[in-house]
Structure 1
Amino acid sequence: MSSYVNRCILVIDDEPDLCRVVKIALEQLKSWKILTTESAQAGLAQAQTQQPDVILLDLTLSNGDGLSLLQSLKTNLTTQSIPVILFTATEPSSDSLNFDPANVAGAILKPFNVLQLADRIIEQLGW
């Protein structure tokens, strides 16, 4: 049995259609439990209570600052060890986005191939 079965992933993205597609694809392809939220505040609360195995985080949330959320996740004792994969339409750069690359496990650029998404997550986390 692979080490990536029975995983829980929290998707924090302000695009509801994208959240739905990711949820359906990962639940169908890998039988993972997928939690979704469209706001930074709700994302932090879910991360604290649900303790997902990984967080897919959009840095450009329209209703909250993704960078501030990343910082909150990494400084909170309850969530600091949860790997975060950036989920973004622009190539992340520590210079342009002012974040510490050591705080992220990887990045997935939008648009992405939904059939390859699970493999990208597994690859970036070394599952």
Structure 2
Amino acid sequence: MTPESLQRILMVEDEPDIRTVAELALEAIGGFELTACESGQHALKKIEECRPQLIVLDVMMPCMDGPATLRAIRAMPGYATVPAVFMTAKVQSDEVQSYLALGAAGVIPKPFDPLTLADQIREIWNEAHAIG
């Protein structure tokens, strides 16, 4: 059985410049429907509206960081198993392991390459569905 194709992504990133580049990479290059939020709180308000198939989270954000946002999303009905990807500059192996232990399907290092970001996301999506 082939996995359903990925279309809807929720991205949570507090840096406007990074959000803009990721929007271009995922919408224009990747062809995804992207909902971009500037905070974990904003993401929690928007998630029901966009019904993402995959969530991309910045790790370090003010107020509510990526791991806290993921925990809050996981507690919502229907989102316990939605694949999540962390984007971070902190990619030491122990840090990556801690993100995976939180239930992340993958970790994308920053700075990311806008030309390959959509492919990286698709690869993580396919791996998440090959396991499940």
TM over 0.5, shorter chain: yes
Work out the number of aligned pairs and report it.
125
- Taking only the aligned residue pairs, the percentage that are identical comes to 30
Partner residue in 1 for 2:50: 50
Partner residue in 2 for 1:4: 5
**How far apart, CA to CA, are the structure 2 residues paired with 1:121 and 1:31?**
12
Bigger shift: residues 110-119 or 41-50:
41-50
Do the aligned partners of 2:66 and 2:86 also contact (CA within 8 Å) in 1?
no
- 1:22-33 → structure 2 map (5 Å cutoff): 22-33=22-33
Query: If the length of structure 1 is used for normalisation, what is the TM-score?
Result: 0.84
Do the aligned partners of 2:85 and 2:108 also contact (CA within 8 Å) in 1?
yes
Structure 2 stretches lacking a partner, 5+ long: none
Residue 70 of structure 1: CA displacement? 1.2
Query: If the length of structure 2 is used for normalisation, what is the TM-score?
Result: 0.81
Partner residue in 2 for 1:122: 122
Do the aligned partners of 2:67 and 2:102 also contact (CA within 8 Å) in 1?
no
**How far apart, CA to CA, are the structure 1 residues paired with 2:100 and 2:107?**
13
**How far apart, CA to CA, are the structure 2 residues paired with 1:20 and 1:115?**
14
**How far apart, CA to CA, are the structure 2 residues paired with 1:92 and 1:39?**
24
Residue 97 of structure 1: CA displacement? 8.7
Partner residue in 2 for 1:69: 69
Partner residue in 2 for 1:34: 34
Partner residue in 2 for 1:81: 81
Counterpart secondary structure, 2:90: coil
Q: CA RMSD in A?
A: 2.5
**How far apart, CA to CA, are the structure 2 residues paired with 1:102 and 1:38?**
21
Residue 17 of structure 1: CA displacement? 0.9
Deviations 1:65-123 (A, max 9, x none): 22211111122223222111001111166679965625111010101111110111111
Do the aligned partners of 1:14 and 1:63 also contact (CA within 8 Å) in 2?
no
Cα distance change, pair 118–66 in 1 and its aligned pair in 2 (3 A): same
Do the aligned partners of 2:100 and 2:106 also contact (CA within 8 Å) in 1?
no
Which amino acid letter does the alignment assign opposite residue 123 of structure 1? Answer: E
